[in-house]
Chain A
Amino acid sequence: MPRGAGRLVLVMGLLALALGAYFLAPRLPLLMQPPTEGYDPARMVLVYATLPRLVMAVLCGAALGASGALLQQALRNPLASPTTLGIDAGARLALGAVTLFYPALFGWGRDVVALAGSGVAAALVFGLSRRQDFSPVALILSGLLVSLYCGALAAALTLVESRYLASLFVWGSGSLSQQSWTPTFDLAIRLAVLVVPIALLARPLSLLDLGEDAARGLGLNVAYLRLGAVALAVLLAAFTASSVGVIGFVGLVAPILVRLAGARSFGRSLAAATAVGALLLLLTDLLVQMAAGLSADFLPTGAVTALLGSPILLWLLPRVTVRLRKEAAAMPAMRSYALAMRRGVLPVFIIGALLIVLTLIALAVERAPNAEWQLLSAADVSHILPFRWPRVLAAVGAGLLLGSAGFLLQRLTGNEMASPEILGVSSGATFAMAVALFVSGVPSLATVTASAALGAALVLGLILFLSRRSGFQPERMLLAGIALSALLDAVIGVLSAAGDPRALQLLSWLTGAGFAAEPMSTLVSLALVALGIIAALCLVRWLDIFQLGAVTAQELGVPLGLARVLLLALVAGTTAVATPLVGPLTFVGFIAPNLVRLLGLRHSGTALLSSALTGAAILVTADWVARTVAFPFQLPTGLVASLVGAPLLLWLLQRRPA
């Protein structure tokens, strides 16, 4: 009687066999018939669509399962996978861009592109988390950040060429639909090439179980070993992505299931994860195909795995936390902050003055209807200014909110990769907005804004509820947020994959293109901004104490649980107000506090205000660029903000290694 992982594989295999038999039995006799003179559509579909699709599911699932197992072992990170490390998103963006500009690229060319995209994404993720010694949480946060960033860029691409929207969505959500054996054979060849190097690495990788020092003592070059394993994992994921699209979460869930089932050695768990990945995707795809018989809606398998995968991740999180928590404690808790506090109002005034100058430029410098640059003419003040000032001030308000929300979250979690986008609050807002769009059919700005706020509030409630048991431990809340974001993204993917043009509306808002500010709503938002910042300033003392560590903070009499809940509620509230103004993906909440930190402003009060003002300065500039640079076309503000801010931040991070 097999035990542990073996039993898991056996059970899943039997299940797949039963389901497959049920699915195929009525049609298999068709194979026995000689390929007759007459045309038989049922036979053709069986031979050239159904069977290659099932084989494709097995191949992709196996590749992803192996990829996840390699990553988790090499990085000693139970949450590593092609999905969580941004590898999928990188491949998706690269292939999306290529589809738009060189649609005729197939074969190995496509693989090279997918590989380049996922390779660059992986390198970015490692670059971002290097400063935190690749700790699991830092890696996952960087992965999510890179995923979101790639997603925003891919969304912008589809807005450029909306005709391709549907095809990019279909591809991005991983449809396994096949019409010939060619793609299956092509993928099989690519994967076969990788089998030998993976088998060769399995043994040395298993030595990592002894601990890094012991492995080094045995003469292993741990750095090269890791690099090799990650490279193989990226290759596996990239080949899969280039042949069928993005299939999320299989690479994460398969190795975790194997570990929970109790596989002993790495060699075994790698083999088991490969098998479980293959069976997982096969089972999912069989179910999808059966469901497709029942409803007319187009359902890509990749979107379904993401849909099923994220709740599984939520459920698994408490079970993989033991090591996580240890690592989190060992994480550099930014203790240096407490030592190097520079109090002062001068930087705040300088950034504030800069913001005012930028705001004036944004208000006054414009393009004439004939696209000439000009200053706002007196004649246009009454015509154009009423439409411009709400938008500019909304950018200021949203920037202030996101800058302070990002700062609070980064201080609270002690993690410089944290950002409101990552908490899932923005995804909640987006999701609610999607529902409003698809249910009401006729969206008004008011409905959309109201539903965005409601969605943000619901997600916040859910995150608080889910992390209640961990005493609102910030890392756990971030991970719950990640799982929720992924779930909501999957739902949006399913909604969009059928090619509904309403997906375009959603997308345009997602990238901050539908920036529509009304005078009244802008003024209300600004009042909320003021409230939010005052509240933040009241709570800021706690943040200074948090930097001394949780234990010290408790000794000093800070009510830890209450403080965390209040601060998180503030973060969520400010994000909920800001999201309808500029869309969920500006990355300002990530960029602004980091810029301020790199400027050396560490005293909490100073840094909070500087972050808020920097956020506003970034968004006002981005909005002005978005309005003018491609006149008469308005670029998505959120996208311009992330395109401008992120490279700047990366450059700064490079310049000052920790």
Chain B
Amino acid sequence: MQRNGHAVLPHRRAVLGGLLAAPFVMRSGPALARPSRIASLDYALAQHMLVLGSPPMALADAHEWDKWVAEPPLPADIIDLGTSLSPNIELLAALRPDLVLTTDFVGMAEPQISRMAPVERLTIYSDGGTPLPKAFETVRRLGTILGLEERAEAYLAETESFFAACAERARPFREKPILLLSFLDPRHARVYARPGMQQDVLDRLGLQNAWTGEGFYWGFATVGLEELAKAGDAVAMADYMPPDIKATLEQSPLWLSLPFRRNRGPIPVLPTVAAFGGVPAARRWATLILDALERQAA
């Protein structure tokens, strides 16, 4: 995970350094009434706690963090609660949390959890609106809960200037629509679309999405690869492509003839980034997209 953090994102070292130092700063003295034993059932909310410098005590699916989220790095001592849809309630009870964070998606466990601890439901991916503003809201809300309002505001302000800098970096690429894919098998892929986090990021950077169709609120559409012809000429990149799919794909005459493949060669595969993450994931998407664009232009 450090590999991704530092090799791919050199200009973010300062930010990361601050984040890594944050837990030590925090340890000096949380306010008395503030919850301190917090468990999260959601990756995005855990991301937000990490950037606020107050990591959760326990997290669902913690063991897969490096595989699907990577950034920010997860401290090793965080307890794994099992899968997010079926968290280990008894383990959670044994840990005696004083706050459990959930979302609409994992909300089914709430009746049980609310018998042991207060529950805060903070949903980023839901009907109505787009994810990034909701993610900002959850950062603020977590700031209030943790007594870290200033840090939350500072992080969001820093994020705004980060996006502004990214938009500047993206200026040369404004004319080229971007196609963001996630491969399912050699015949089908997900296309990131409106109203998703990836679309929000493209909007912030002033870039166009080559896929104009709308998805549902998770922000993607599932398509057969031949439909990608609709995207026309674009710069395509994938956040996920198993090697075996690549081999088959590169033999398909249709794939080879799609404008974005034909004009630009095999499409780049991005390093690990959360598909349905929080603000840190949005920032990582921005960086990875720009890195890929610049590498292709070079």
A442 and B107 contact, Cβ closer than 8 Å, known pairs A380-B94, A514-B85: yes
Q: Which of A182, A444, A446, A498 has the most CB of B within 10 A?
A: A498
In the complex, chain B residues whose CB is within 8 Å of the CB of A499: 184, 190, 220, 222
**Distance A158 CA – B214 CA, assembled complex (angstroms):** 26
Other 10 A-B pairs with CB < 8 A, given A41-B259, A505-B85, A634-B86? A177-B188, A179-B186, A380-B94, A442-B126, A497-B222, A500-B218, A508-B86, A518-B112, A632-B88, A636-B86
A337 at the interface (CB under 8 A from B): no
Q: Which of B220, B223, B252 has the most CB of A within 10 A?
A: B252
CB-CB contacts below 8 Å: B232-254 with A: 232, 240, 242-245, 247-248, 251-254
Contact among A39, A166, A516 with B108 in the assembled complex (CB-CB below 8 Å): A516
Contact among B86, B96, B216, B232 with A515 in the assembled complex (CB-CB below 8 Å): B86
In the complex, chain A residues whose CB is within 8 Å of the CB of B252: 48, 179-180, 182
In the complex, chain B residues whose CB is within 8 Å of the CB of A446: 111
In the complex, chain A residues whose CB is within 8 Å of the CB of B226: 45, 48-50, 177-179
Contact with B along A422-446 (1 / 0, CB 8 A): 0000000000000000000111111
Among B24-32, B74-82, B133-141, B286-294, the stretch in contact with A:
B74-82
State the 3 A-B residue pairs at the shortest beta-carbon distance, nearest first. A177-B224, A49-B226, A104-B244
**Distance A499 CA – B193 CA, assembled complex (angstroms):** 14
A369 and B112 contact, Cβ closer than 8 Å, known pairs A166-B184, A170-B222, A384-B90: no
A166 and B111 contact, Cβ closer than 8 Å, known pairs A44-B257, A179-B255, A515-B86: no
A167 at the interface (CB under 8 A from B): yes
A366 and B90 contact, Cβ closer than 8 Å, known pairs A387-B116, A444-B107: yes
In the complex, chain A residues whose CB is within 8 Å of the CB of B90: 366, 384, 387-388, 627
CB-CB contacts below 8 Å: A556-583 with B: none
**B85 near A167: Cβ-Cβ < 8 Å:** no
In the complex, chain A residues whose CB is within 8 Å of the CB of B223: 298
CB-CB contacts below 8 Å: A337-395 with B: 366, 368-369, 380, 383-384, 386-388
CB-CB contacts below 8 Å: B60-98 with A: 68, 79-83, 85-91, 93-96
CB-CB contacts below 8 Å: B32-76 with A: 68
Contact among A50, A177, A179, A387 with B89 in the assembled complex (CB-CB below 8 Å): A387
A437's nearest neighbour on chain B, judged by CB, is B108
Shortest C-beta distance, B65 to chain A (Å), equals: 14
**Distance A633 CA – B232 CA, assembled complex (angstroms):** 45
In the complex, chain B residues whose CB is within 8 Å of the CB of A41: 229, 232, 257-259
A171 at the interface (CB under 8 A from B): yes
**A44 near B79: Cβ-Cβ < 8 Å:** no
A103 at the interface (CB under 8 A from B): yes
A405 at the interface (CB under 8 A from B): no
B162 at the interface (CB under 8 A from A): no
**A39 near B257: Cβ-Cβ < 8 Å:** yes
**A298 near B221: Cβ-Cβ < 8 Å:** yes
B105 at the interface (CB under 8 A from A): yes
In the complex, chain A residues whose CB is within 8 Å of the CB of B115: 386-387
User: How many B residues have CB within 8 A of the partner chain?
Assistant: 65
**A369 near B91: Cβ-Cβ < 8 Å:** yes
A163 at the interface (CB under 8 A from B): yes
Residue pairs across A and B with Cβ atoms less than 8 A apart, 25 shown, are A39-B262, A41-B229, A44-B253, A99-B185, A166-B184, A170-B184, A177-B224, A177-B226, A179-B186, A179-B187, A180-B252, A180-B253, A182-B251, A366-B90, A368-B94, A383-B116, A441-B104, A498-B222, A501-B218, A509-B108, A513-B83, A516-B89, A516-B112, A518-B112, A634-B86
Contact among B88, B104, B190 with A634 in the assembled complex (CB-CB below 8 Å): B88
**B187 near A384: Cβ-Cβ < 8 Å:** no
**A516 near B111: Cβ-Cβ < 8 Å:** yes
Shortest C-beta distance, B48 to chain A (Å), equals: 20
**A49 near B82: Cβ-Cβ < 8 Å:** no
Shortest C-beta distance, A391 to chain B (Å), equals: 8
**Distance A203 CA – B53 CA, assembled complex (angstroms):** 78
B149 at the interface (CB under 8 A from A): no
A-B CB pair tally, cutoff 8 Å: 180
**Distance A104 CA – B186 CA, assembled complex (angstroms):** 11
B18 at the interface (CB under 8 A from A): no
A371's nearest neighbour on chain B, judged by CB, is B91
Contact among A48, A384, A513 with B253 in the assembled complex (CB-CB below 8 Å): A48
A23 at the interface (CB under 8 A from B): no
**Distance A352 CA – B228 CA, assembled complex (angstroms):** 62
A631 at the interface (CB under 8 A from B): yes
**A103 near B253: Cβ-Cβ < 8 Å:** no
A507's nearest neighbour on chain B, judged by CB, is B85
B225 at the interface (CB under 8 A from A): yes
**A178 near B187: Cβ-Cβ < 8 Å:** yes
Contact with A along B249-286 (1 / 0, CB 8 A): 00111110111001000000000000010000000000
Contact among A166, A384, A513, A627 with B222 in the assembled complex (CB-CB below 8 Å): A166
A368's nearest neighbour on chain B, judged by CB, is B94
A106 at the interface (CB under 8 A from B): yes
**B127 near A180: Cβ-Cβ < 8 Å:** no
In the complex, chain A residues whose CB is within 8 Å of the CB of B243: 104
A594 at the interface (CB under 8 A from B): no
In the complex, chain A residues whose CB is within 8 Å of the CB of B258: 41, 44
Contact among B95, B126, B244 with A106 in the assembled complex (CB-CB below 8 Å): B244
In the complex, chain B residues whose CB is within 8 Å of the CB of A232: none
**A369 near B79: Cβ-Cβ < 8 Å:** yes
In the complex, chain B residues whose CB is within 8 Å of the CB of A163: 68, 240
B109 at the interface (CB under 8 A from A): yes
A177 and B253 contact, Cβ closer than 8 Å, known pairs A383-B96, A387-B89, A445-B108: no
**A443 near B107: Cβ-Cβ < 8 Å:** yes
In the complex, chain A residues whose CB is within 8 Å of the CB of B110: 444-445
A592 at the interface (CB under 8 A from B): no
B80's nearest neighbour on chain A, judged by CB, is A632
**A296 near B213: Cβ-Cβ < 8 Å:** yes
**Distance A383 CA – B213 CA, assembled complex (angstroms):** 50
In the complex, chain A residues whose CB is within 8 Å of the CB of B80: 632
**A369 near B85: Cβ-Cβ < 8 Å:** no
Shortest C-beta distance, B44 to chain A (Å), equals: 13
In the complex, chain B residues whose CB is within 8 Å of the CB of A106: 244, 248
